[in-house]
Each structure stands twice: as C-alpha cells, then as structure tokens.
Amino acid sequence: MDETGMPVGCIITAGTTADCTKAIELLEGLSTGVLFGDRAYDTNDIIAYAASRGMKTVIPPKKNRLIQREYDVELYKLRTS
C-alpha cells in the first residue's frame, strides 16, 4: 500500500502483452467498491470478475462492442483528479 492507503501492484510483461490480460491477477485479493479503468480494460472477463466481487465497474465500453454498456461518465471523469 502507498501512503494514501491505496493498494499498489505491478506485473512486468513483454512489450507485446496486452495489459488487460494481467488485470484479474492484479485484482485478486483486493477489496474495493469501484473499479476504474480505461477502454483497454473493457473485457467481459474483467467486468464479470469485478461484478462477482461486488465491484462497480467504471470502464467506458470499447467502440467496437455490439452492445454498448453503460458506465458512470461523471465518476469516470474523477479518476485522475
């Protein structure tokens, strides 16, 4: 944990490895109410994992999704504040 009490984790991967493929591994064992992420983390597996642990996902849907998921746009804007 850092000085704010926020959990911090890191996995080093090859440059050709998509970050989203390691997201669930980083989330394991964490307890949070809201999971923020950018479009790169809009995968069915990540969203299902978060939902199964009671997390609200604040991740905008990829533009190529056939059915666009809703997300809290105003809360998403706060992610970098």
Rounded to whole angstroms, how far apart are CA atoms 28 and 63? 27
Contact 43, 24 (CB under 8 A): no
Long-range contacts of 1-7 (CB under 8 A, 24+ apart): 7/32
**Total-model pTM:** 0.82
**Phi/psi class of residue 66: alpha, beta or left (left: φ > 0; alpha: ψ in -120 to 50)?**
alpha
Count other C-beta atoms under 10 Å from residue 13's C-beta. Answer: 10
Per-10-residue mean pLDDT of the chain, 81 residues long, equals 62 89 90 90 96 95 94 89 65
What's the pLDDT score for residue 73? 94
Q: Quick one: tokens of 32?
A: 């949070």
